[in-house]
Structures are given as C-alpha cells and as structure tokens.
A and B are shown apart, each in its own frame.
Chain A
C-alpha cells in the first residue's frame, strides 16, 4: 500500500484544525488541573472535617475511575441533569478534573517535603495562616513539584484522543469523518498518529529542560 501524498496534502488542513482543538483541550485542561489540584491538596489538609473528608472522597473517586467513564458522564448524563456542555467543554472539564487528582498528589508530596522546622518558624514569627502558605510553604513546595507536574502535561496530552468518545473534533475524530467520506483510512489515521507523536516529542523535550532547571531546586 502506498502513501498518497496528494490525498494527504488535501486532508492536512482539516487534521491541523483537529490538532489545534487537541492543543486547546490540553492547555486549558492542564491549567485547570494545575489550579484545581492545588485547591484539592489544600482542601485535603484543612483541619475542618466537612472540607477535607468530602474533598478526599471526591478525589479518590475520580482517581479511581477511568477517564472515559467520566467523559461519558459529563457529556451524556450531565445534560439530563440540566447541565449541557459542548463536546470540547466537557472534554476540558473531564481532563482538568481527572488530572487535578494526580497533580494534587504531586502538590501534597511537595508540601510534605517542606521541613517541619519551616512551620515551627512560621509559628514562632506569628505569621497568619494564609501568609504561611503564600510566603513560606508554597514558594518552597511548588518549585519542587514542577518536574512531576510537567510530566503530567505529557500524560494529559496523550489522553486527548479519548475525547473521540464524546465527539470532540481532535485529529482522530476528524480522521474518522474523512474516512466516512473517502473510505481511505491509511493516510488520515497515520497522519493523526504522527501529529500526536510530534507534539508529544516536543512536550517531552520541554519537560526535560524544565526538569533540569528545577532539579537543583528540589534539593536546595
């Protein structure tokens, strides 16, 4: 079987549109995961049981169930409960929530890595609790979390094809639409795969740079 370059060139713009959608889902979903994960990590450390228990249960529940099921729930069930999301919005919420449960563990480890003496000193200086977090604990915990957080950006990106299941127009969804018209699957599927591979390689390369930059900090 030969790769048909003319066919490939014809469908490339459509697939690139799909890639743009995949990148939007990745970036927005990842930012949401970074923010929500921190919120989860802090909520689970709360001394108030009515905060830490439900949040803990929710996080464990999300982490313990497959992303695909969560996407189905967000896209097919939630509208029945009165909240209809577009495919992309549902995908971003699903990815963001799911990966927030992973990033919250990374933050937790980072926070626990701050030596207890730092908390002691904050008490000895009478710092208000909020200030302890914003100026003492998080500035030390977050930098040491960055390498592991970066790895989750790659993992999240590689889960974007699962959004096919809820009809988000990422490259494979686009590819399937093309095949439905042309009945020629070889080029679109191969190209969609290569597009994912290219972005994943770039992300891992960036990840390695970030890791090198922050490795020193984790031990400092």
Chain B
C-alpha cells in the first residue's frame, strides 16, 4: 500500500457522480499536483483526505491506517471518531479562502493548535510561531487581526498556521486563486520555500502551471472523476498523451 492510498473510492452528490471507483497512491515525500477542469473532483479528493467529505465507498489510508475504517481481526469496520482523528492528525490543509480565525490575532491563529492539540507550552509555541511568521515574511504582523491584513498576507499566515501543526501531509487547494497575480507570486514563493526546506508530502490543486512544474514531481490529470493521465511535470506539460489533457492545458495557458 502506498503512503497515501485511495482504493476504489466513489463519491456522488445526488445524481452527480464526482469520483468513480478511483484508485491511486502517493509516496511519502512526493509532491503531487492535481489538475483538471472545474468540477472534475480535485477539491473533493483533498477534502476527503482532510476528512471534510466522506466517501460513499472505497477506502482511503495514510501510512497503512484507514481514515474511515478500523481493522478488527481480518475485517474492516467503520472507524470510531477517535481513530479518524488520530489518522487525520498527520494531515493539514490550506484553503482558497484562507479561513483564518477572525476573532484571534495572527499569533494566536498559529499557536492555537500547537497549544491545544499538541500540548506545546505557550511560550515555546509562540517562539515557533514567530519563526514561522518570519519564514513567510510577516514577523511584524503577529499582533494584527486577520481583517487588518491583505489577502496575500492572510494566506501566508494560513500557511504558517498549517505548518505549525507539524503535518506529514500538506494539502493546498487553489491557495492563490483568490489573489491578484503579483500577490499570488509572493505566496507561491513561500510555498517553493516550504517545498525546498521540508520533506512534507504535498498534494496541491493549482492553476499556476509554472509553479506546479517547479515544485511537483508528479502531475495527475483528472477528468470526470477519473485520472486520465499520470506523469512527471515535464512530460505532462510538454508532451501530454491524452487529447483531453492537451485541450485542458491549452485553455489554462490561454487564461494566463
């Protein structure tokens, strides 16, 4: 079984079949970009890994532990909440809309989870939070409220906040789509840095193709709930095999 393992996962919303018997794996430390047209299920995949959405059938495992199932003898039974919590504690996610907590200052946004989940002493968590803020270039904003920051700054705080939980797997869902291009570039620089300096496994959905090429070592092309192409970025972007991929890449590159 791969480090991250989707096995025959299906998901529908009403009549809309979003994922159809999908299986794929991601190795530890891999950086995988998910591309594909709108509605092809990319967000759904990330949300499932974060346990924000539950699959209708199939299994998802992280490092041999199932997210929604527990082993009992030879059988798989539905997991209790404690089990799901334990498995997902290795995963975190950064969202398109930042989702910072508006009632907390920047520093507490970052220390909230270390202090109340990991049990890190407060001063230690704050010191680490300040280091993370420095890494994202916002050390001067520790005592600001999120509403006092620009979108790009908020997203960089959100990245720092996600890293503070010391994840093994970092999910990034179109983290720059709500931002102007120049601002987006700053955020992407931060993420390049993260990719370079850590060995966290990354799954990212992005329309920033050059960024995807720089940071990922694998690209998955989704179409109608299936993976239709799975290749290293050079191959995916330079010589896509599938007609749908070619059409999709052409339309994305025209947009920019």
Contacts and interface: CB of A to CB of B under 8 A. Distances in A.
Nearest to B93: A124
B113 A125 contact: yes
B23 interface: no
Given A117-B95, A117-B97, A123-B51, A128 B117 contact: yes
B116 A123 contact: no
Interface residues of B, number: 26
Contact of A126 (B52, B94, B99, B165): B165
Contact of B112 (A118, A120, A123, A125): A125
Contacts of A117: 95, 97, 99
Contacts of B12: none
A213 interface: no
B89 A126 contact: yes
Contacts of A131: 112, 116
B103 A125 contact: no
A127 B113 contact: yes
Contact of B101 (A118, A123, A128, A220): A118
Given A120-B93, A123-B51, A125-B117, 10 more contacts: A118-B99, A120-B52, A120-B95, A123-B52, A124-B91, A125-B92, A126-B85, A128-B116, A128-B117, A135-B116
Interface of A: 115, 117-118, 120-121, 123-128, 131, 135-136, 139-140, 220
26 contacts: A115-B99, A117-B95, A117-B97, A118-B99, A120-B52, A120-B93, A120-B95, A120-B99, A123-B51, A124-B92, A124-B94, A125-B162, A126-B85, A126-B89, A127-B112, A127-B113, A127-B116, A127-B117, A128-B117, A131-B112, A131-B116, A135-B112, A136-B101, A136-B103, A140-B102, A220-B147
